[in-house]
Every structure is written in structure tokens, then in C-alpha cells.
Amino acid sequence: MSGGTVAGADGLPRCPWGVSTEDYVVYHDTEWGWPVRGDDALFERLSLEAFQSGLSWITILRRRETFRAAFAGFRIAEVARFTGKDRERLLADPGIIRNRAKVDATLANAKSLAGWAPGELTDLVWSYAPDPATRPLPRTTADVPAVTDESKALSKELKRRGVRFVGPTTAYALMQACGLVNDHLAGCAFAAAEGARA
């Protein structure tokens, strides 16, 4: 879809993807674009965005609780202690995406991030948030980028510091989901309520 907003069942205009399923309606209205801070919370979003790579987000969204259970709530310190048995358990778990490269990247990322100072991941990620004043709301979905200079820079820095499976597109999806940017369409009823905020 490359058009503007679409009215939901309640008559409110939303981004087109935000009305396609009930799961998306809830996610769009209550989560997407709201600021997310905290190292564990950002590790979860980063991990889920990596698992989403090449798949539809709805596939991940509908399995999110299973992912959380499988990965100890995405608490960095706990995932960093996962053993080879945990890895095999994850690769046998039908409730998650059993992609070996993505599982291995998540485990490696936890081990790497466990060595960072508290708040370091949060500070690093948010340091790449662009000034909202320089980014007018997109008018149509065609105006929403897949990557930006900021997402390229964030991806490069995360990779430099040992974080895996975080290309510029994944980094931008993280920025959208966690409120670093506001990509709700200009006519969306939730555009003013959400978006990047300090």
C-alpha cells in the first residue's frame, strides 16, 4: 500500500498497516512509535526486529509472548548465561522462529551487551534519534523510508561494538518501533500522540 490513512472499524483514521488485523490495531494504537528506554527493553526490540528480518511483523507479534518465555523475558544478564543446552532448546521450540543464525546472533548479542555499562545501550540507541523538527510526518506510506542516514550510522556503530544481525533496515525498524522517529502518517489519529519524545 502506498496511500494515506484508512479508517478503522471505529472510524478513526490510521496508517494502512494498522487496520489490517486486530493484532496490528492494538500494536499500532498502543505501542508503535512510543518511546522505549531501558537496556532490556531495547534488547528485546532489537532481537525481535532481527527475527522479523525477511518475515512479516505479524509473524513475530503473534509469537512475542512465546519469544519472551523462551528468552527469559529478554533480560540481558540472564540470556547471556544461556548454555549450549539452551541453544538447542531454542532451536527446537516451535513457538519461536527457529532460525539458527538469528538465535545465535541473539545469544551472542546478549553476551556482548552484558559487558556494557548499565544504560549504555539506551544512551547509544537514543543518541541516533533525529531532531523531530527536521522530519515532517509522512503523508503516505510511500513517504516512509526503509533506511535513513541515522539508521545506517546506528547499524554501523552497533556492529562495530559487537552487535550482530542489525543492518540499516533492522536499525530503522527499531527506531520506528521505539519512538526515535514518528512515522505515523500525517492524517493518522495516533500521529500526535506518539512519536519521538525525549
pLDDT in tens, the chain (198 residues): 467 999 999 999 999 999 999 999 999 999 999 999 999 999 999 999 999 999 999 999 999 999 999 999 999 999 999 999 999 999 999 999 999 999 999 999 999 999 999 999 999 999 999 998 888 999 999 999 999 999 999 999 999 999 999 999 999 999 999 999 999 999 999 988 644 444
Provide the annotated active-site residues: 27, 49, 57
| Integer Cα distance of 184 and 132 in angstroms | 13
Amino acid at 64: R
- Output b/e per residue, 141-163; b: 16+ Cβ within 10 A: beebeebbebbbebbebbeeeeb
- What's at 93, amino acid-wise? D
pTM of the model: 0.93
Give backbone dihedrals phi and psi of 95, rounded to 5 degrees, phi first.
-85, -10
- Hey, what's the cell of 99? 532460525
